[in-house]
Chains A and B, each alone.
Chain A
Amino acid sequence: MANTTRRSLLRGVLGGATVAVGLPLLDCFLDGHGEALASGKPIPTRFGTWFWGCGVNEDRWFPSKLGADYDLKEELRPIAPYKDKVTVFSNFNCALGGRPNLVHWSGVMATLSGAAPIQGGVSGGSAEAPTIDCLVADHIGRGARFHSLEVACTGQSSVSYSMRAGSTVNPSEVDPISLYRRLFQTGFSDPNKGEFTPDPAIMLRQSVLSSVKDDRDDLIRGLGAADRQRVDQYFTSLRQVEQQLAMMLEKPAPAEACVLPMEPGKVELGPTWEMATRSHELLGQLVVMALACNQTRVFNVALSNAGSNLRKAGDPVSFHELTHEEAIDPKLGYQPKATFFIERSMETFASMLKMMDAVKEGSGTLLDHSLVLATSESNFAKIHSVDNLPIMVAGRAGGKWKSGQHVSGKGDPSSRVGLTIQQVLGMPVTSWGDAAMQTNKPISEVMA
């Protein structure tokens, strides 16, 4: 078997080399057409979000030409190798509808939750509705061990743009070692291993969690409406863990692209550019392998927080501060130091696409079987503008999404992107969003 080779290659990747490695799905697992497994089950569709902070320079990021033949300006150039797999959206706005523009918060929550938030700001806030990853995970997340995975690259677990509504984020994994252990140590069963013996201890754990559910009724009795919802959230989360346990009792379906990686080495976590991109590389590889190994179908990557604290080592001023304080260079027409981070952010996004595109599945790649919604909270962070938000969707959802175009929203709310994603993923949603963000108009140009 080729396993040894792939394993050692992967070890090389996680051990330090930065080259992504293609992992062909062996033909014997496929049905001959390359779009379904021999078991008859189609290759699953995955969904992810990829967030970067502090926006873009409008003139240097958005293509001028609409349609499939769109042009790549300086800041989007890193995605050139994947241009035909990326859809770029322009002129989709955060429609505030009278709500305040909460700096570094409104834009991202509007796009991801379909509702302009009422509370928040540069250090976070609350969501009026669940973010799209939660909705999608409720739909496609079952059947994988983890409902979804959240990772953040600057060492802070509170940096996450995945929320169930309210003010609690789904916290991010920040340490590659912890993420590795959670994914691939206790509780992981190799989908490509021949034999499978269910662990009886898991049944004990199931009976414990099942019994905890008895507590709901007398708990909610004395509580107000808001606290009842918090109790219900507890039990929703608990049921997700129960499903996780149930999965662990079943022999996993083979996933040929899945190769158990080696535990990553210890890395320093923090907001310098070097640390963050290193974390992104290691966390990204683990997320990609978690997808390939059917451990999850939904993921969220945050390169940094929205008021980005990314910083070059030795530089006293962070990306966020630069966007506000650095002068626009009259010759260049933009803020050179701040723009460094915009350009590098797009390179980092391209590196995520590279990792996903390197995993072969059927006649395509993991990226082809995914949709990755990438966005930021601002258009031009200097003035916190939330019109014309930078939004991309990478991947093809197994052929259901027509990728490789530039589509203009002509000033419509950015929730149209989220609505379209949900419909393409087969969710029975005809209308999405709240107040001025409400829409029932999917983006037909991308629907195959």
Chain B
Amino acid sequence: MSARRVRIRSVQLFRSSAIVLLATATVAGAVFGPVAGHLARAAGGEPATVGGAPGFRRLNEGQYLRTIEQVFGPGLKVPGRFEPPLREQGLMAIGDGKVVVSASGIEQYELRAREISAQVLSESRRGQVLSCAPKSLDAFDASCASEFFEKYGRLLYRRPLSAREMTSVLAVAEAATAQSHSFYTGLEAGLSRLLASPKFIFRVEGAEPDPQNPGAERLDAYSLASRISFLLWDAPPDAELLDAAARGDLYDRAKLEAQVDRLIASPRFEQGVRSFFSDMFGYEHFAGLTKDQAIYPKFTSALAKDAQEQALRTIVDLLVTQKGDYRDLFTTKKTFINRSLGALYKVAVPEAGMGDGWAPYTFAASDPRAGVLTLPGFLMLDPTHEGRSSPTIRGKAVRELFLCQQIPQPPANVDFSAVQNTADLMHKTARERLTIHVEDATCAGCHKLTDPIGLSMEHYDAVGAFRAKENGAPIDASGVFDGKPYADVIGLQILLRDNPTVPACLVQRTFEYGVGRAATPSEQAWLEYAAERFAGDKYQVPALMRRIATSAAFRSVAPEPAPAAKVRVAAAN
């Protein structure tokens, strides 16, 4: 495989003409063949899609914690270690649909189940969760137990329990009551049984025939409710959304829109936006991120946390609070700072940012900072380099995270001897060191894609502090992006802001995040349509999420898993 080929998925249809589309004919045939009739129709003006297989996604740590809090109220201690997440095809949300649970993982889930149940049914809390009292404290009361499991089973499984499921959980509770002579210990065992089930730990999606499109399938109402609430809140449906699903409201356009609008208006929507961008921008790497403290004395794990929080506050403020244009994320001078970031920036922190607080902060016009690429939350987020900045990794991150382009790995047998100068290990600046890559034909293909972008950020060290020079030599941050020259990262970001691939990539990622899988070729046209509408919506992210959540594409599923979609796009340089 050529090192120069850049594998890019679906949305690259929007890329410049220098890019050639290589679609796999067999895939297209397999997808379009049996359902051509369905595809020809469009729902509500949207291009029709086939959809992918219904999902089977493991709750991630945040989703698990939020579920417990949403269902049982705040203040519960959730113990244990969560299994490491997996990023696949650009998103953890896609990885969630590929992961399994190891034995040590089950051990942890079982431990959590017991400890959560014990707290929920503790003497101090049981009054809040139970609307009935057992006839006797030491005997089983089927009617009170049923009431309890009906309510909490529905919230935990995100749909009502089936009769069989109810029988199963009541049997556990009854047996445990008999053994322990305690009604509440019995309920604890039953609740543990729900919490240890893969039906709770995984989001299990179900399909049903779509009456509006004979021969096609759609998500069942409860599965759709979950997709919507996890997209918008990154949390399970509340009772009201489940009620709406039970009434069939989610298949009625106006009622669906009313529910989606309700969720977007909720304070929980901010968490949904935070979760999405944390996934899209790879923030899982903040956990355990380290830099060498001998080289970067200002770096602490607290600073890494602050850098992540700063980036999320900046995103939420622009996109949710101000209802701003997504593309302005690349140019905004507005952010938030606290004490430790003030020290990193060497600026005075406003009163509100002292102590544990955060203060809104606007960089002066003359300040070399603007846009997401100058936030420490982007600049330091390189788990592979702890003692220096890597323009290659930064450039790769811009291509992959903001432009949805995948940079291939270096060839296995690459000879790095050309990069080395035996007299001194390090050239003075990164640009000098990396020039050698670009002069070598084997390396140039990819490094031409990554390094010029990354070198624009060399004024910021590995933790995001500004530096005018590296090893005493001045830094040259200029370059060319898509044929247009820029002087530094501020200039590069202006080019990115106006590049149509940037919003198209966001549309693709948001859709894929919601459905939990890579877009299929049958969804290309819909993604193009959604990108156009996104422009019409002034690139407002809540509007994009609303459009996705209410679309037919979002709820359409193919009962048999569609073959893995492979649309390959090659850079022609």
Contacts and interface: CB of A to CB of B under 8 A. Distances in A.
Q: Do A and B interact?
A: yes
Contacts of B53: 224, 227
Interface SS majority for chain A: mixed
Given A215-B198, A234-B101, A311-B292, A168 B83 contact: yes
B364 to A, nearest CB: 32
Given A103-B410, A208-B193, A324-B416, A316 B199 contact: no
B126 interface: no
B330 to A, nearest CB: 27
A236 B110 CA distance: 14
Nearest to A203: B179
Interface in B51-74: 53-54, 56
Contacts of A204: 176, 179-180, 185, 189
A219 B180 contact: no
A155 B387 CA distance: 18
Interface residues of A, number: 74
A385 B412 CA distance: 8
B425 A158 contact: no
Interface string B191-227: 0110011110000111100000000000000000000
Interface stretch (A38-46, A51-59, A237-245): A237-245
A101 interface: yes
B412 A168 contact: no
Interface string A227-239: 1001101101110
Interface string A365-392: 0000000000000000011110000000
Nearest to B100: A233
A227 B101 CA distance: 12
A171 interface: yes
Interface in B156-181: 162, 164-165, 168-169, 171-172, 175-176, 179-180
B101 to A, nearest CB: 5
B413 A101 contact: yes
Nearest to A221: B206
A166 interface: yes
Interface residues of B, number: 72
A230 B56 contact: yes
A244 B83 CA distance: 19
B197 A212 contact: yes
Contact of B54 (A150, A166, A222, A238): A222
A317 B196 CA distance: 44
Contacts of A326: 420, 425
A219 B81 contact: no
B99 A168 contact: yes
B290 A207 contact: no
A238 B99 CA distance: 15
A167 B88 contact: yes
Nearest to B295: A316
B416 A207 contact: no
Contact of A171 (B98, B105, B168): B105
A224 B420 contact: no
Q: Taking chain B's interface residues, is the majority helix, strand, or loop, or is none over half, making it mixed? A: loop
A314 B413 contact: no
Nearest to B419: A325
A170 interface: yes
Nearest to B168: A214
Contacts of A205: 110, 114, 192
A314 B104 contact: no
A351 B23 CA distance: 54
A168 to B, nearest CB: 5
B102 interface: yes
A360 interface: no
Interface in B236-285: none
Interface string B104-140: 1111001001100000000000000000000000000
Given A100-B412, A218-B164, A383-B413, A164 B292 contact: no
A309 interface: yes
A171 B294 contact: no
Interface in B456-488: none
A254 B102 CA distance: 29
A164 B102 contact: yes
B388 interface: yes
A353 to B, nearest CB: 25
B34 interface: no
B84 interface: yes
Contacts of A238: 106
Contacts of B386: 271, 309, 311, 316, 318
Shortest Cβ-Cβ A-B pairs, 6 listed:
A316-B387, A314-B294, A158-B84, A101-B412, A240-B103, A224-B561
18 contacts: A100-B412, A101-B413, A164-B100, A168-B98, A204-B185, A208-B172, A208-B192, A212-B197, A222-B205, A222-B206, A231-B56, A244-B107, A311-B292, A314-B295, A316-B292, A325-B416, A327-B417, A327-B425
Given A171-B104, A204-B189, A317-B388, 5 more contacts: A100-B1, A102-B409, A156-B288, A167-B86, A171-B83
